[in-house]
Amino acid sequence: MSETTRFHFHSHAAALSGRIVRVGEGKNAKFVKNSFIDLPAAALPASGGRSSAQLTRKYLKDSFVKSFVRFDSAIVTSEGVFDDAKAHFEATLGKRRSGSLEPRTTVSADIRGLDIGLKGQVHMLVRRVRGGFSSKKGVTPGETAIELDRGTGFEGNSVKFVDATGKTYTLNVEVNRDVFHNHHTLSALRASFPRAGEDGATHGTIAKPVAWKGREFPGSAIETDGGVSIPGFGRVFFGEIAMLPTSRRLTMVRINLGSPVGGDVAAADVMDNGSWAG
């Protein structure tokens, strides 16, 4: 690598985002134009550093969104540094080449007390969900190594769904913590997650197969791709990953909202795609 070589950091961490576009069903359905779940997130510039945000429900401004989405607190962080700070120091003095530094990007999103759904209707409760990983790019050509944050997962390894009568149903949602430990590069992951999208990314989930603890939510269905369909709420997916040679993304909760509200929501979403540039 020449001395003009530099690493461009790029990553983000979002606690909660999405858009609601419909209220009501059938002939009573109404189009909703600007109901966004619009919250601060953490993102890095090309030079790296650290970006973070601490959030509470007061950041939710849209009146309908506030009636549908509630949470207690959230923290998001995105950090891009060179692993050896002293080596970075020496590079600023011209004592070593910048291209010899090894960059690491760390991203995390942590949200507590998440409650999604209209009052008196079906809603989902998540006491705490955290998603995060670190990625390290070597100075020689090769793949980026990925390490899952130890805290990634759901508190109690579960989420709850409450029906319109107030009855609660518990779904076991446990993270497979060996995924990145045993398969920490894209080529290794492809052996475990062979499903590829139209963009060529390798798609999969870090969640183990979900299962109801005790009674099942009436009419629900656990899907083959790891999601669960909940009548009166929508389809929910857990721990989705998407990987390309130049990017890595983890979404801990993704919801395709069904009746009586239509739209999309995601929680604890993190991504990084930094790269060397000449």
> Do 57 and 112 meet the contact criterion of CB atoms below 8 Å apart?
no
**How far apart are alpha carbons 209 and 156 in whole angstroms?**
16
Coil vs helix vs strand at 277: strand
Model confidence over 113-151: pLDDT tens digits? 999 999 899 999 999 999 999 988 765 556 677 888 989
pLDDT value of position 220? 97
Model confidence over 87-98: pLDDT tens digits? 999 988 999 988
Tokens of 49: 């550093």
Contacts of residue 127, defined as CB under 8 A and 6 or more positions apart, other chains included, come to 112, 113, 114, 154, 155, 156
Task: Report the C-alpha dihedral over residues 230, 151, 41, 116, rounded to 10 degrees.
Answer: 20
- Confidence band for 277, pLDDT divided at 50, 70 and 90: confident
> Is the pLDDT confidence value at 198 over 90?
no
Q: Using a cut of 0.85, tell me whether the model's pTM lies above it.
A: yes
- Confidence band for 243, pLDDT divided at 50, 70 and 90: confident
> Do 46 and 68 meet the contact criterion of CB atoms below 8 Å apart?
no
